[in-house]
Amino acid sequence: MHNYVIALYIRLSVEDFKTESLSIPNQKLILREKAMSLPEWDNSEILEFIDNGHTGTNFERPAVQELLTMVQAGKINCIIVKDLSRFGRNSIETGYFIERVFPLYHTRFISVSDDFDTANFKGDTGGI
């Protein structure tokens, strides 16, 4: 019985194709390793959301929209991204989701490279 849903969000923009470390397989590997390190891993379902060739300057991306819809439906417990810029390059909008939207739906947000995990902050992200 899966009762914990972990969403892996991967974004590759057109400019990122030059950088191997940002490749989709590489991001998947990093995110899966992080997910496996969580105590919830044993009874969790892993969903992957991939926006390939999309800019991070806005949230008009198919996979991120699907992810946010599922969060608002209460279907996602945890989101893992490689770094905050994968989720969004607009820090105001990104901060809004992390500080306002996700806590409202009790969704944990982890950014691996930034060593950022909302589970370490009680109601306040310290203004990322």
CA-to-CA separations, 121 to 13, 26, 40, 84, 114, in angstroms, rounded: 30, 28, 18, 16, 14
| Tens of pLDDT, residues 93-105 | 999 999 999 999 9
Q: Can you give the pLDDT at residue 38?
A: 97
| Tens of pLDDT, residues 32-50 | 999 999 999 999 999 999 9
Q: Can you give the pLDDT at residue 15?
A: 78
Q: List the domain boundaries for the chain.
A: 4-120
Give percent of the chain with pLDDT exceeding 70: 90
- For 107, other C-beta atoms within 10 Å of its C-beta total 24
Query: Averaged over 121-126, what is the pLDDT?
Result: 58
Across 36-53, b (16+ Cβ under 10 Å) vs e yields: eebeeeeebebbbbbbee
Integer Cα distance of 47 and 69 in angstroms = 14
> What is the average pLDDT value for the chain, to the nearest integer?
91
Fold of 4-120: Rossmann fold (3.40.50)
Comparing CA positions, the residue from 26, 35, 38, 126 lying closest to residue 86 is: 26
